Structure 1
Amino acid sequence: MNNDHLQLFVRVASTQNISLAGSELGLSPPVASMHLNKLEESLGVKLIHRTTRKVSLTEEGREFLPHAEEVLSAVDRAKASVGAGSFTPRGTIRVTAPSSFGRMHIVPALKGFVSEYPHLKVDLRQSDNIVDMVEGGFDIAIRNAALNDSSLVARKLASDTRIICASPDYIKQFGEPKTPQELQQHSCINLIGIEHWEFESDDGIQRIKPNSTIRIDNGESTRDACVDGAGITISSIWCCDKELREGKLVQVLKDYKLVNNSAIWAVYPSSRLIAPKVRAFIDYFVKRFGDTPYWERS
């Protein structure tokens, strides 16, 4: 197989136009068609349906596409290892992210990302479950949990500061706790999987088991229930900064810092050479979030 033929095929898959894809690579329409024919002949399968109006991938073409992208990515990584040539991140980058963080902070940035990298496509899957990256075929996973897999590499994207908060209406009706111990006298909204709230103190770590009248498996829903006055909760600032600014939530127990070892990480399979598309994605979001992420700036 010829790498130039693979590159053309990937661009045709993206543009669904042989003439346009060929033009991007400096090829006339007849030459572009000839290259695609040669690729199909070398594989012994038809990759593209051609009509007078448009082109589309065959089932075999759709199956072949991610492999073609990976071959081109491997060539770029090999060139990068010896500082040879210049290359542009391309292909499809497959990302998995937590539902709330993905919706609030990844999705709004995708327009800018694909504008900066027009040869890249993004396949984003949002789930609060920890997925198997290899089995799922993902290039990057956005996580806020500690890394416990030696086959993966983690790059910190942003801090994940968490606070205790309540709505003004709840405080007006039930009062504001002054110490962590007083939380046990209040209704609390808890994220499923977090059984204790831990606070730093001069006497060490204080572990409080909140009176969880409501338990939810989603951070945004937990926050919304708190805004509604259903109880006191823990929330990441990236999730509740808008409600704090608008006065729908207020921070309580400010003098008691939560024990928090979490951060927002970009996780990817361990490799001596990082794929250009993975590097582009990580660098873009590191720059976007900054040393102090925008949701923590006053």
Structure 2
Amino acid sequence: MSLDPDYELFVHVVDSGSLSAAGRALGISPAMVSKRLARLEERLGVRLVHRTTRRLALTEPGARFHADLAAILAGVREAEARVTGVRNAPSGPLRVSAPTSFGRLHIAPHLHRFIDAYPAVALEFDLSDDFIDLLDARIDLAIRIAPEIAPGLVAHRLGGSRRVLCAAPGYVERHGAPETIASLGQHRLLAATGQMPWRLVNGTRRATVDRASAVTTNSSEIVRELALTGVGIALRSLWDVGEALESGALVRVLADWEGSADVGIYAVHPRSPTVLPAVTAFVGFLREVLAEGKF
């Protein structure tokens, strides 16, 4: 069984991200790819892809059409594997996104294990603190650290993410340690864009802190460095500042309070009738790696 050749070409264009890359994969010129794509759009009577000089962007109908076609192709591959008795081994491109600090500290040092185990997978690993649209960015799997996951995504919970209030000893010496949640209002607080308000718990007690950060930044790594250099108080995950707390480079403040426990570490991917074997393999790899860490 095979799809219309222009359908398969459309999937190649989306998955590869450009007309030239799709042409190389199919052995035809970019001009021919463009001509066939235009022919498909004319036949369907709908624009599937916005073409710009920098990138391709799926239209809403194009995104739905690609998801349907990708599911059909994956189903065909699974059916063939069942008939032949051959397991569909992980292979092909795999695009993964992770938060900057978490990816650098806890995944990148172990990626060689995944690469060695699955040499047929062409891994692309991106770091970003933004919650990017997986379909628009053509991301197969993303790591999210959040209290909840959007319903359109499949979420695999990998672990919790304890967060504590901390500051450099020098900051505490100069400004004193806050004694109550209310007294945090007298201190410089540090948070990346989107990380406020802080929702804190102390047993059954709950508190919300919503203040502007002393420094505006979109980077959690900048927040960590500002805390280490004595600029203010931050709410940081133990996976991020555990070693600094152990060494004394940071100290906890208001130690009875922590970030709410509903925040978890998740591997997420778009909802689809079938899941790429490479995605399943990477989720398993993440479970092994995080089981070895301190969270």
What's the TM-score once normalised by structure 1's chain length?
0.70
**1:242 is matched with which residue?**
243
Q: Is the 8 A contact 1:219 1:239 kept in 2?
A: no
**2:263 is matched with which residue?**
262
Rounded Cα–Cα distance in structure 2 between residues aligned with 1:210 and 1:99 = 24
SS at match of 1:229: coil
Q: Shift in Å at residue 261 of structure 1?
A: 2.1
Q: Shift in Å at residue 82 of structure 1?
A: 8.1
What's the TM-score once normalised by structure 2's chain length?
0.70
Q: Shift in Å at residue 93 of structure 1?
A: 0.5
Instruction: Give the 3 Å change call, closer, same or farther, for CA 72–103 of structure 1 in structure 2.
Output: farther
Q: Is the 8 A contact 2:187 2:232 kept in 1?
A: yes
Q: Which runs of 5+ in 1 are unaligned?
A: 3-44, 50-56, 64-68
For 1:75-94, what aligned pairs fall within 5 Å after superposition?
75-78=76-79, 84-94=85-95
Residue identity matched to 1:188: L
Q: Is the 8 A contact 1:183 1:211 kept in 2?
A: no
**1:126 is matched with which residue?**
127
Higher-Rg structure is 1
The percent identity for this pair of structures is: 30
Q: Is the 8 A contact 2:149 2:155 kept in 1?
A: no
For residues 254-297 of structure 1, the C-alpha deviation after alignment (integer angstroms, 9 at most, x for no partner) is: 2123224221111112123322111000001111111xx6133x
Q: Is the 8 A contact 2:71 2:274 kept in 1?
A: no
Instruction: Give the 3 Å change call, closer, same or farther, for CA 87–209 of structure 1 in structure 2.
Output: closer
The alignment status of 1:194 with 2:195, answered yes or no, reads yes
Residue identity matched to 1:215: T
For residues 50-86 of structure 1, the C-alpha deviation after alignment (integer angstroms, 9 at most, x for no partner) is: xxxxxxx9769x99xxxxx999855553357789432
Superposed CA RMSD in Å reads 3.6
**1:169 is matched with which residue?**
170
Q: Is the 8 A contact 1:73 1:276 kept in 2?
A: no
The count of corresponding residues between Structure 1 and Structure 2 is 246
**1:253 is matched with which residue?**
254
Rounded Cα–Cα distance in structure 1 between residues aligned with 2:257 and 2:185 = 15
Q: Is the 8 A contact 2:201 2:260 kept in 1?
A: yes
Instruction: Give the 3 Å change call, closer, same or farther, for CA 145–257 of structure 1 in structure 2.
Output: closer
Residue identity matched to 2:293: Y
For residues 205-225 of structure 1, the C-alpha deviation after alignment (integer angstroms, 9 at most, x for no partner) is: 222334732232211110100
Instruction: Give the 3 Å change call, closer, same or farther, for CA 268–59 of structure 1 in structure 2.
Output: same
For 1:276-291, what aligned pairs fall within 5 Å after superposition?
276-290=277-291
For residues 28-51 of structure 1, the C-alpha deviation after alignment (integer angstroms, 9 at most, x for no partner) is: xxxxxxxxxxxxxxxxx87589xx
